[in-house]
C-alpha cells in the first residue's frame, strides 16, 4: 500500500525533544504520521486528517519562536497541542501563559469530565511533565478538562488539559507520547482515530519494504562503508543494508577505540561473521590513537568531538587505503542521536553524538551519508532486527554509546565547580527539600549533562544518604529537581556514611582509569545477568567521577540502571537488595574506589549517560 492511500496526521515540529516520538507513537497506532515545519505553507496541511503541535525549547510566555504560520489555526482540522503547543493554542485563543509552575517527571492527571479524548481511561492517570511555562487562564471558547498534581505536597497544576469541541482545538501540558504517561497512547488514539477519524492502515512491514526501496534508490550502483560498533543499531543497519544491496556491496569497518567493554571487539567480529557479513569486514585497533587524542581533554563536549573527529580521520584513512573513498558512509544513527544534537531546525543541543560532528554534517549535506535507521527509536530498531532474523541476544543487548566508556569516565582539572558559599547555599536548599524523608544531602563539586524542558542543562548532582524506601527515594529526588535550581541529578550513597569532604581530583582519560572502569562495568553487567535483569533493564551505565571522599580513593563509582523503551525518557530501575549488596561489596573492594552511588535520576532532568 503506498503512503498516498493512508490517512495521515501532521506533527508540527517546534524543536521539542519528542517531536519524532509523537510521530512514532502515532505510527504504532497504524496511522501514518509525518513531520512538518511550522513555516510550511497552509496548503501543505490540507491532505492530513489532523495536526499535532509538538513541544519546544522556546518559552511561549516570552513570545519566543512565535513567527510560525498562524494560518494553520484557520484550517478546518482538529489540532492537539502538547506542552509548548498546548500553550500556543491557549494563547492564540485568548488565554494567558506565564513563566513558572515548572514540573519535572511523573504527575497524576485528574480528569474533570467525560470527554472523547479520555475515552476508556480512569479519573486519575499518570502522565509525564517537563516544562518551565504554564497556562494560567483560558479564552472564552475553552474549558479545563484536567489538572495535574506532582506529589501529595504539591498544589494542583491547573489547565493541564484543555479543549474546545466547537473549535476542535485541544491541549495537554503533559507529554502523552512518552512511555511514562502510562495511557498516553490511548489519549493519542482517541484524538487520531476518534476525533480526527483516521483509519489504521499503516504498518511496520510496509515501512520495511519502503525503506529497502529507499536504500536501493539512494545508493544506486554504489557501495556502502559502514562504521560498525557491534551495538544494536549498527548491527541492524548492517543487516538491513545487506538485505537491500547484497553483502558484497556492504563493507564493515570495526574500530577498537580503546573505549570498549572487556573483550568487546572479539565478540563483535564473531557476531558479524555469523550474520554472513564477514567477507568485507575490516578491523582496526586504534586505541593508542584515540588515547593520544584525548590527552588533556576535560569537558564532555570536547571529548565527544575528539572521539567523533578521530573516528572520521581513521575512516578517511582506511577508506583511501582500501579504495573506498567513493563509497557512501553508512551509520547506525537512530532518531534520539539526531534530536539530542540539534538535528531538527529548532532543537536545542543536549549532547553531541560522534556521528553528528561537523564533518559528518557536511557529508550529509553532500549526500555522502546513508542512515537507514535515522527515523526510528530503539524499540522500532529492535523490532526491525527481529523481522530481519537477527538473533535475540544481539537485538536485545543493552545500548552502549558510540563514544564508549569515554563518556562514562568523567574528567576534571582538579578545581571545584562550587565555591564555599555556593556549596553551603545548595546544601541548605537540598536539605530543606529532604525534610521529612530521613535523608540528608550535599551537592557534588562536579557537573553532569541533563535535559530540562527540551533544553540542555549542565548542572550539579546531589548526593543523598540515609535509609528510605525506594518510593520515598524517588519522591525525594523529584522534590530536589523541582525546588533546587542548579541540580539536575540525584545519587543515593551506597558507600560509607559521609563524615568529611568531597574533593575533585585532576584526572583525564587514561588506559589505567579505563581498565579499572572496565572491571567495574563487567561486575555490574555480570550481576544483572546473574539476576536475570539484562532484558528488563534498558541500560545500566557504570560511571567513574574523579572524587576523593573523606580523604580516601580517587574514583567515585556510580551505577545507573534505568527503565525505558525509546531512550527519550527514562526512570531509575530498582535493583534487588541482594544484588545491591553484592555490587556494594565487589565495587568498593576495587583499588582506588572512593565510594559508590546509585543514580536515582529520571530523564528528564538527567540524560541516561552522564556526559
Active site residue 175: yes
The torsion angles phi and psi of 234, rounded to 5 degrees, stand at: -70, -30
What is the DSSP track for 307-345?
Answer: HHHHHHHHHHHHHHHHT-TTSEEE----HHHHHTBT-ST
Q: Is the dihedral of CA 384, 390, 391, 393 positive or negative?
A: negative
Please, what is the Cα angle at 317 between 313 and 322, to 5 degrees? 145
Q: Determine the Cα–Cα distance for residues 397 and 207; give it in Å rounded to an integer.
A: 23
Q: Whose CA is closest to 55, among 392, 405, 347, 349?
A: 347
Give the active site residue among 175, 251, 353, 460. 175
Q: For residue 121, is it left (φ>0), alpha (ψ between -120 and 50) or beta?
A: beta
**Nearest-CA neighbor of 464 among 553, 586, 558?**
558
Query: In whole angstroms, what is the distance from residue 561 CA to residue 524 CA?
Result: 10
Q: Give residues with Cβ within 8 angstroms of 577, minimum separation 6.
A: none
Nearest in space to 51 (alpha carbons), one of 160, 179, 198: 198
Instruction: Give the C-alpha separation, 427 to 421, whole Å.
Output: 10
83 is a catalytic site residue: yes
Nearest-CA neighbor of 542 among 444, 593, 610, 450?
A: 610
| Distances in whole angstroms, Cα of residue 443 to Cα of each of 367, 429, 432, 447 | 46, 10, 13, 10
Distance in Å from the first CA to the final CA of the chain: 43
Retrieve residue 410's grid coordinates: 568523567
Please, what's the largest Cα pairwise distance for the chain? 69
* Catalytic residue selected from 6, 83, 354, 460: 83
Nearest to 351 by CA among 8, 83, 603, 70: 603
Burial class (CB in 10 A: 0-12, 13-18, 19+), 199: exposed
Sheet strand arrangement including 250-256? 281-285, 250-256, 224-227, 328-330, 369-370
Out of 88, 177, 264, 555, pick the active-site residue.
177
CA 217 vs CA 214, 324, 335, 469: distances in Å: 5, 20, 21, 56
Cβ neighbours, 10 Å, residue 189:
21
Cell of 47: 491532505
Active site residues: 83, 175, 177
Amino acid at each position: 500500500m503506498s503512503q498516498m492511500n493512508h490517512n495521515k496526521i501532521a506533527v508540527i515540529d517546534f524543536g521539542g525533544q519528542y517531536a519524532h516520538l509523537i510521530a512514532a507513537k502515532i505510527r504504532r497506532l497504524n496511522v501514518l504520521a509525518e513531520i512538518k515545519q511550522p513555516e510550511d505553507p497552509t496548503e501543505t496541511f490540507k491532505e492530513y486528517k489532523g495536526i499535532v503541535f509538538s513541544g519546544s525549547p522556546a518559552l511561549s510566555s516570552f513570545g519566543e519562536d512565535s513567527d510560525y504560520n498562524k494560518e494553520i489555526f484557520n484550517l478546518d482540522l482538529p489540532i492537539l497541542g502538547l506542552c509548548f503547543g498546548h500553550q500556543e493554542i491557549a494563547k492564540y485563543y485568548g488565554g494567558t501563559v506565564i513563566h513558572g509552575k515548572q514540573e519535572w517527571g511523573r504527575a497524576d492527571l485528574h480528569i474533570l469530565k467525560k470527554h472523547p479524548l479520555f475515552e476508556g481511561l480512569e479519573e486519575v492517570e499518570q502522565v509525564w511533565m517537563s516544562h518551565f511555562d504554564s497556562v494560567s487562564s483560558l479564552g472564552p471558547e475553552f474549558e479545563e478538562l484536567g489538572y495535574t498534581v506532582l506529589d501529595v505536597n504539591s498544589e494542583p497544576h491547573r489547565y493541564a488539559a484543555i479543549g474546545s469541541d466547537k473549535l476542535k482545538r485541544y491541549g495537554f501540558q503533559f507529554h502523552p507520547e512518552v512511555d511514562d504517561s502510562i495511557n498516553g497512547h490511548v489519549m493519542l488514539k482517541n484524538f487520531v482515530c476518534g476525533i480526527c477519524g483516521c483509519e489504521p492502515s499503516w504498518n511496520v512491514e510496509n515501512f520495511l519494504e519502503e525503506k529497502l526501496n529507499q536504500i536501493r534508490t539512494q545508493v544506486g550502483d554504489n557501495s556502502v562503508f559502514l562504521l560498525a560498533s557491534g551495538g544494536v543499531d549498527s548491527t541492524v543497519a548492517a543487516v538491513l543494508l545487506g538485505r537491500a544491496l547484497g553483502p558484497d556491496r556492504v563493507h564493515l569497518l570495526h574500530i577498537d577505540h580503546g573505549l570498549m567493554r572487556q573483550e568487546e571487539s572479539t565478540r563483535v567480529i564473531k557476531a558479524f561473521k555469523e550474520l554472513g557479513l564477514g567477507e568485507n569486514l575490516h578491523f582496526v585497533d586504534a586505541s593508542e590513537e584515540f588515547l593520544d587524542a584525548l590527552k588533556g581533554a576535560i569537558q564532555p563536549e570536547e571529548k565527544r568531538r575528539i572521539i567523533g573527529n578521530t573516528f572520521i580521520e581513521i575512516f578517511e584513512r582506511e577508506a583511501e587505503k582500501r579504495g573506498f573513498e567513493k563509497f557512501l558512509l553508512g551509520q547506525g544513527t537512530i532518531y534520539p542521536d539526531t534530536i539530542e544534537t540539534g538535528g531538527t531546525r529548532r532543537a536545542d543541543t543536549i549532547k553531541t553524538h560522534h556521528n553528528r560532528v561537523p564533518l559528518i554534517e557536511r557529508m550529509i549535506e553532500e549526500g555522502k551519508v546513508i542512515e537507514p535507521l535515522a527515523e526510528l527509536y530503539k524499540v522500532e530498531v529492535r523490532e526491525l532486527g527481529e523481522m530481519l532474523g537477527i538473533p535475540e541476544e544481539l537485538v536485545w543487548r543493552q545500548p552502549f554509546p558510540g563514544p564508549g566508556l569515554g563518556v562514562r569516565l568523567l574528567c576534571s582539572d582538579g578545581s571545584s565547580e562550587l565555591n564555599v558559599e555556593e556549596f553551603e547555599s545548595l546544601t541548605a536548599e537540598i536539605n530543606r527539600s529532604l525534610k521529612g524523608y530521613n535523608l540528608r544531602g550535599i551537592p557534588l563539586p562536579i557537573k553532569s549533562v541533563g535535559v530540562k524542558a527540551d533544553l540542555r542543562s549542565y548542572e550539579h548532582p546531589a548526593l543523598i544518604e540515609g535509609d528510605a524506601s525506594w518510593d520515598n527515594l524517588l519522591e525525594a529526588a523529584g522534590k530536589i529537581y523541582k525546588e533546587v535550581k542548579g541540580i539536575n541529578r540525584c545519587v543515593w550513597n551506597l558507600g560509607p556514611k559521609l563524615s568529611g569532604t568531597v574533593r575533585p581530583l585532576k584526572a583525564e582519560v587514561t588506559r589505567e582509569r579505563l581498565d579499572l572502569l572496565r572491571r567495574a562495568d563487567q561486575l555490574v553487567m555480570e550481576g544483572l545477568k546473574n539476576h536475570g535483569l539484562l532484558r528488563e533493564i534498558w541500560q545500566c551505565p557504570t560511571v567513574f567521577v574523579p572524587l576523593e571522599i573523606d580523604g580516601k580513593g580517587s574514583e567515585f563509582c556510580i551505577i545507573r540502571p534505568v527503565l525505558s523503551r525509546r531512550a527519550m525518557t527514562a526512570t531509575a530501575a530498582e535493583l534487588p537488595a541482594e544484588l545491591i549488596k553484592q555490587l556494594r561489596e565487589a565495587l568498593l573492594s576495587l583499588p582506588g574506589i572512593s565510594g559508590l552511588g546509585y543514580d536515582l535520576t529520571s530523564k528528564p532532568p538527567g540524560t541516561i549517560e552522564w556526559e
